[in-house]
Copies of this chain bind each other. A is one copy, B any other.
Amino acid sequence: MADYIQPLQTLCEQFQRLSGIGRKTALRLAFSVLESSEEDAAAFAQAILDAKQKIHLCPICQNLTDREICTVCDDDRRDPTTVCVVEDPRAVLALEKVKEYRGRYHVLHGVISPMNGVGPDQLKIKELLDRLNDGVTEVIVATNPTVEGEATAMYIARLLSPFGIKVTRLAYGIPMGGDLEFADEITLYRALEGRRTVE
């Protein structure tokens, strides 16, 4: 990218800092910006600044919010006795789409990963413990089914065991619409292990 004119080069480098954006995509996006109107580019720049400045963590659940307390924590109709622990705000968005879960959330902002130097202290686990006195009876650990996600779930389960709180994990199994033929062995094993009586 050495031969680009400087402002284009800089913009490409900025796009490349974003997750999953390589050299070619960065160039395409940079050209997209150049092809937009001056007002649109200004609105884009402003949106970046606004998002960064206005969005912070909810002091209770650690999810992203632009309000003092996030809409879930601030909603009296949401059951405060159940807390669903997730890795990141994206998981909250995914779960909220289901519209079935009526409890609260807690966002860890990561998983325990010694390889990446992330220990429990780097996660919002202390903040989770601080919430347990408020009548929490069940903690659903909904970290992703990866090695790190599982390890984090185990860690949290052990940490909460003295509190007498029910700790659950999401069910593993064949995804709906999936095909047994294409399911990996671990998923199939978990699906067998978690089999249920047909009622």
In chain A, positions 16-67 with a C-beta closer than 8 Å to chain B are: 17-21, 25, 27-34, 36, 38, 40-55, 64-67
Main SS class of interface, A: helix
Pair A10/B50 contact, Cβ less than 8 Å? yes
Interface residues on chain A, number (Cβ under 8 Å): 53
- A47 partner, pick from B14, B28, B97, beta carbons under 8 A: B14
Pair B3/A93 contact, Cβ less than 8 Å? yes
A10 shortest CB reach to chain B, Å: 5
B residues within 8 A CB of A13?
A: 47
CB nearest to A44 among chain B residues: B14
Pair A64/B17 contact, Cβ less than 8 Å? no
Which residues does A use to contact B, with CB under 8 Å? 3-8, 10-11, 13-14, 17-21, 25, 27-34, 36, 38, 40-55, 64-67, 71, 88-90, 93, 96-97
